[in-house]
Amino acid sequence: MPKVRSIVARALLALAALAILDVGLSLSVLRGGKLGKRPLPPFGVEFDAAQRAILERMESGVAEERVTIFDRDLGWCVRPASSSASGGTNINARGMRGRREYTPMPQAGRLRLACFGDSFTFCDEVSDESAWPAMLERDEPRLEALNFGVPAYGTDQALLRMRREGLEGASVVVLGLLLENIGRNVNRYRPLWTPRTLAPLAKPRFVLAADRLELVPQPFANPVELARAAREGSLLASLAEHEYWSGRPRLWTGRASSIARLAAGFFAYRERDPRRLWLDEGGEPRRVTLALVESFRAEAAALGARDFLVLLLPMREEFDDFLADGRGYWSELPGHFSAQGIECLDMAPALAAAAGASQSSTYVLAHLSAAGNELVAREVRAWLVRRAHLDAAADRR
């Protein structure tokens, strides 16, 4: 009996020490529910001061002079005829990046491209003239490259934007596919996929039903409704249906235990690793993303495009891994697209060759630098020549 009492006493002492450690972590290292800059689960329930300020501005209904705005159909989009505070980012009257305005149809002898995608197509962190579509135009006078990229977009939102905007007479469509998009394409409330984001944004998504894509729209008619739902606590419930990232992982302790949140955080960020998602061939994120690309190609052709290119773009972390071993986990994707009759250009090898040949960085922080975007423009132009859209022997500026 004394032995049993000793075991119980030790167990209680261990539990007490664990509880003290849990409280200590909550009051020190994990104060605010973050490990460094990384929020810990549960995600999308609690807002920090910056997010609350954004929600208050949204709920006030006061229109802001900014480049990105709420959009009923797309979740968010760029504001036509707007500029950033610095003046380095400008949107023309038709909602394309840059100050240049285009005629409704291209003039004779000109090749027009319609470029869709996320911030790597929009080209965050560089000025208008250093975006790769603008560099294509600069180096090739016969080319018009319409930049329909929007920061933080999924492939699904890019597809919906093409449906809405059309091609503006473009005969070639370029889809920028950031490898991280695979997680966005099954997401409806952005902080559930990207917990560090300051933007409490809702988005539409597509689901596969009998191998066909069906649209699940975002439910809010305006930013006031979205902000009010967040404040009242109904936002997550409004977006719960078909939200892939809800409860990944589930945390029965909620925010009560910092130790449990640490453990859940490890699994949460591991599950959100694009490598795991792309290598899971039967997983919903991969199947939906590939179906979106195929629909993009088919719908672009129906709108009059003669050619379609998928531009594979690695994030900074993925590019660093590629530099280390010379091979990306996505190396089979070009072959997959080729088997589907889809042209694909993987930018990692060219970016790696450039990084090894000079001291100039191909990235700024998270996005491509002017040098990196110039390389993208060069590779896209070379592809256009190979596809006989441009004459390699013609004079260039």
Q: How far is CA 102 from CA 23, 122, 174, 307, in A?
A: 61, 17, 18, 21
* Dihedral angle of Cα 132, 138, 144, 146, to the nearest 10 degrees: 30
Q: How far apart are the first and last CA of the chain?
A: 92
Residues in a beta bridge with 90? 83
Residue 304's identity, in one-letter code, is G
- Which residues lie below 8 Å from residue 308, measured CB to CB, with a gap of 6+? 172, 173, 174, 175, 296, 297, 300, 301, 342, 343
pLDDT tens profile 15-52: 555 556 555 555 565 667 787 888 888 887 666 777 78
pLDDT band at 263 (very low <50, low <70, confident <90, very high): confident
Under 8 Å between Cβ of 321 and 294: no
**Partner residues linked to 82 by β-bridges:** 91
Query: For residue 4, what is the enclosing H or E element?
Result: helix 2-27
Ranges 4-13, 183-192, 253-262, 289-298: which has the least confidence = 4-13
| Spatial separation of the C-alpha atoms in residues 186 and 189, rounded to whole Å | 10
Q: What's the farthest any 2 CA atoms get from each other in the chain? A: 97
**pLDDT tens-digit series, residues 319-364:** 999 998 888 999 999 999 999 999 999 999 999 998 876 656 899 9
pTM: predicted TM-score of the whole model, two decimal places: 0.93
Tokens of 284: 């919903």
Question: Measured in whole angstroms, how far is the alpha carbon of residue 250 from the centre of its chain?
Answer: 24
The mean of the pLDDT values for the chain is: 89
Question: Fold for domain 38-386?
Answer: Rossmann fold (3.40.50)
Spans of all domains in the chain: 2-31, 38-386
Confidence class of residue 199 from pLDDT cuts 50, 70 and 90? Answer: confident
Q: How confident is the model at residue 185 (pLDDT cuts 50, 70, 90)?
A: very high
Would you give the DSSP letter of residue 122?
H
Cβ contacts of 345 within 8 Å, gap of 6 or more = 309, 310, 311, 312, 334, 379, 380, 383
Those residues whose C-beta lies under 8 Å from the C-beta of residue 243, and which sit 6 or more positions away, are: 187, 188, 189, 192
